[in-house]
Homo-oligomer: A and B are copies of this chain.
Amino acid sequence: MNFIASIRVTLKESVLDPQGSAVVHALHSLSFTSVSDVRIGKYMEVSFHADDEQTARAQVLRMCDQLLTNPVIETYSFTLAEVRE
């Protein structure tokens, strides 16, 4: 079975986000003054093969823990979609 994992990686709440703060100021300068906060993270779409959905979920967890995220400062969530031929 073919799958696509859509992974959202964000900084933990306790971690300062200077990039996000810069975007808030830029949005304010473009008159989007109602914006109170921006958090910037990574978005990844991983296409891969697995025997079944449970195996696929386990693989995504391992990929995130081993390479795609930094557990010290980041958290992540993902959705999994099967890709039919």
Interface residues of A (CB under 8 A from B): 6, 8-10, 20, 23, 26-27, 30, 32, 34-50, 59, 62-63, 66-68
Contact = CB atoms under 8 A, between A and B. Distances in A.
Contacts of A41: 42-45
Do most interface residues of chain A lie in helix, strand or loop, or is the interface mixed? strand
Number of copies: 2
Nearest to A51: B34
A49 B34 CA distance: 5
A39 B44 contact: yes
Contacts of A30: 63, 66-67
A38 to B, nearest CB: 5
A44 B43 CA distance: 9
